Amino acid sequence: MGRNREAKIGAVIVAVFLLTAIVVGIATALGITVTPYGPVQTDTGPKLAPPSLSHLFGTDLLGRDVFSRIIVATPNDVSVGVGVVAFALVVGLIIGSIAALKGGLLDELLMRFTDVVFALPALVIAMVIAVALGPGVTNMMIALMIIWWPPHARLARGEALKVSHQNYIRSARLAGMGTWKIIFRHVIPNIFVIMLVYATLDVGTVILVYAGLSYLGLSVKPPAPDWGEMVSAFQDYLITAPWLPIVPGLIISIGVIGFSLLGDGIRDALEAG
């Protein structure tokens, strides 16, 4: 009962983050303002004002509304989290399924390559790639995509190996069905839910890693808002204006917890079923 309640809380949190990201993203593309103040608008109120009805999360040292900046930054973190994991899921499903069904030398080569990438220090490699590409949300997403797929590939291979011994796979092979058709018609549909559970849990991890890289200044350039960058910029105000670093840090934590609770809920539902 408790797990079910936690899963519902996670689903609500994830839905709020996704909906906010979609609405803000579309509004930004159309040039529509959906926040009380512009994200870079200064002097919206007293400088370093604490949270109030006029400024739900207070203002910063330039008088910018923190709530508006948090909302406008949401598409960055959510799109990176979902985009990187979606890419890793697709690549992992394909590589893992091919390795499991083909076996032999191809399986060995694919898995050794996967192990090499997996053994690399992911955060360090992502930082190097991000520095080489330059700061920016898109470049950060590319950097994380390059190194994030190996765990998905290994999990997909393990699950595909279980499926590959089923009678319907043998029947498909005897009927002359090609490897790609078997993968997309029989293997992926039967392992996708398990992979989706892992992917859901992984989104929160990507959001946390992206926030850390943004904290280091590898994402958007100021004055554009970003959660990790906001924590970094205002960490010295932890005593005098604690809402400045705490609020974006809390938002990051809530996002990570939301995806984790949702992933745990889906997993528990599958185990109960």
Q: For residue 1, what pLDDT is reported?
A: 42
Query: Which helix (H) or strand (E) covers residue 68, if one does?
Result: helix 66-102
Low-confidence ranges of the chain (pLDDT < 50): 1
Q: For residue 273, what pLDDT is reported?
A: 59
Supply 99's token pair.
Answer: 């390795």
Residue pair 70/227 in contact by the 8 Å Cβ criterion: yes
Residue pair 163/187 in contact by the 8 Å Cβ criterion: yes
Q: For residue 209, what pLDDT is reported?
A: 92
User: Which residues are bridge partners to 59 per DSSP?
Assistant: 65
Global pTM reads: 0.91
Q: For residue 245, what pLDDT is reported?
A: 95
3-class secondary structure per residue, 254-267: HHHHHHHHHHHHHH
End-to-end C-alpha distance for the chain, whole angstroms: 15
Residue (of 150, 142, 88) closest to 120 by Cα position: 150
Residue pair 208/148 in contact by the 8 Å Cβ criterion: no
Structural domains in the chain? 2-272 (1.10.3720.10)
Q: For residue 176, what pLDDT is reported?
A: 82
Any idea what DSSP says for residue 221? Answer: P
